[in-house]
């Protein structure tokens, strides 16, 4: 079992719809959860982070965390073609340092 | 504020050679970490440096090494290159000590022939 698992997709949604991206992780001790967006040929950029159970909203993005189920998700409301990218889930490794397990990413295409 | 700078952008090497990649973090960031990204494996953690000390190391062979200088700049070295080392190598910097947001550089695309 991989430390972080994501549906690889591809996921296609029409413009204006809600895109739902999911991630599960194996380490119950994980404390920090991040979502990065990576456009083709570019490096990852941070879009959301969450540390506590529940929802965290930032503009059109909502991160949801359920530590009991070891599940974290990202919702993108009112999806735009510019949201078309690969979304990477990252989970911290251990309790010290800045090291993370990354999922292999979910490819999202928003169809105009 | 300048972002994370990685050089060179592209490298082509042959098997058996060695290579050194460079990374300059965002000003004020003391943590630098390195990741290898391949289509099949995604991003895999190589190692992390904080204040010139390697704090964590991923599951990579000893051919992969690195260091950090007093100005927080970091270098990564790969010796005795293998075909399987072909990948995008990403450097990321962070401000704080633990579980901080990563800011990635543009990466170095290494091709081993």
Query: In whole angstroms, what separates CA A77 from the centre of its chain?
Result: 14
What is the number of other CB atoms lying within 10 angstroms of the CB of residue A83?
Answer: 19
Average pLDDT of the residues in B3-13: 97
Chain A residue with minimum CA distance to B101 = A46
Place of tokens 């050089």: B7
Query: Using beta carbons and an 8 Å cutoff, which residues of A are at the interface with B?
Result: 31-32, 34, 36, 42-46, 49, 88, 90, 92-105
- Give the SS3 label for residue A40: coil
Chain A residue with minimum CA distance to B94 = A98
CA dihedral B30, B71, A37, B82 (to 10 degrees): -110
Q: What is the pLDDT of residue A51?
A: 92
What gap in Å lies between CA B17 and CA B85, rounded to an integer?
A: 11
Does the beta carbon of B104 lie under 8 angstroms from any beta carbon of chain A?
yes
Among B100, B102, B104, most A C-beta atoms within 10 A, so best to mutate, is B102
How many CA atoms, within 13 angstroms, populate the side-chain half-sphere of residue B22?
7
Please say if the pLDDT value at position B39 is more than 70: yes
Chain B residue with minimum CA distance to A93 = B99
Q: What is the pLDDT of residue A1?
A: 66
| A90–chain B nearest CA distance, Å | 10
Query: In whole angstroms, what separates CA A48 from the centre of its chain?
Result: 8
Q: What is the pLDDT of residues B40-65, one digit of tens each?
A: 888 999 999 999 999 889 999 999 99
Q: What is the pLDDT of residue B72?
A: 94
What gap in Å lies between CA A61 and CA A58, rounded to an integer?
A: 5
Chain B residue with minimum CA distance to A49 = B101
DSSP B100: P
**Nearest CB partner across the interface for A99, out of B45, B104, B105:** B45
Instruction: For residue B22, give both structure tokens.
Output: 């460079």
What is the number of other CB atoms lying within 10 angstroms of the CB of residue A11?
Answer: 16
- Taking one residue from A and the other from B, the number of pairs with CB-CB distance under 8 angstroms is 69
With cut-offs at 50, 70 and 90, classify the pLDDT of residue A8.
Answer: confident
Average pLDDT of the residues in A63-67: 96
Please say if the pLDDT value at position A49 is more than 70: yes
Please say if the pLDDT value at position A80 is more than 70: yes
């Amino acid at each position: 079992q991989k430390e972080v698992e994501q549906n690889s997709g591809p996921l296609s949604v029409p413009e204006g719809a809600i895109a739902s991206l999911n991630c599960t992780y194996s380490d119950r001790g994980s404390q920090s959860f991040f979502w990065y967006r990576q456009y083709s040929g570019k490096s990852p950029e941070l879009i959301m982070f969450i540390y506590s159970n529940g929802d965290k909203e930032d503009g059109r993005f909502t991160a949801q965390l359920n530590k009991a189920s070891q599940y974290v998700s990202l919702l993108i409301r009112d999806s735009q073609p510019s949201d078309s990218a690969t979304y990477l889930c990252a989970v911290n490794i251990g309790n010290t340092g800045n090291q993370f397990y990354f999922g292999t990413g979910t490819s999202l295409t928003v169809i105009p | 504020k300048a972002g994370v700078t990685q050089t060179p952008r592209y490298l082509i090497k042959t098997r058996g050679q060695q290579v050194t990649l460079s990374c300059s973090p965002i000003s004020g960031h003391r943590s630098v970490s390195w990741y290898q990204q391949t289509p099949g494996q995604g991003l895999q953690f190589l190692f992390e440096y904080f204040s010139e000390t390697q704090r964590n190391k991923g599951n990579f062979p000893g051919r992969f090494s690195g260091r950090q200088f007093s100005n927080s700049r970091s270098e990564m070295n790969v010796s005795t290159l293998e075909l399987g080392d072909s990948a995008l190598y990403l450097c990321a910097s962070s401000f704080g000590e633990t579980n901080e947001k990563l800011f990635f550089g543009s990466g170095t695309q290494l091709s081993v022939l």
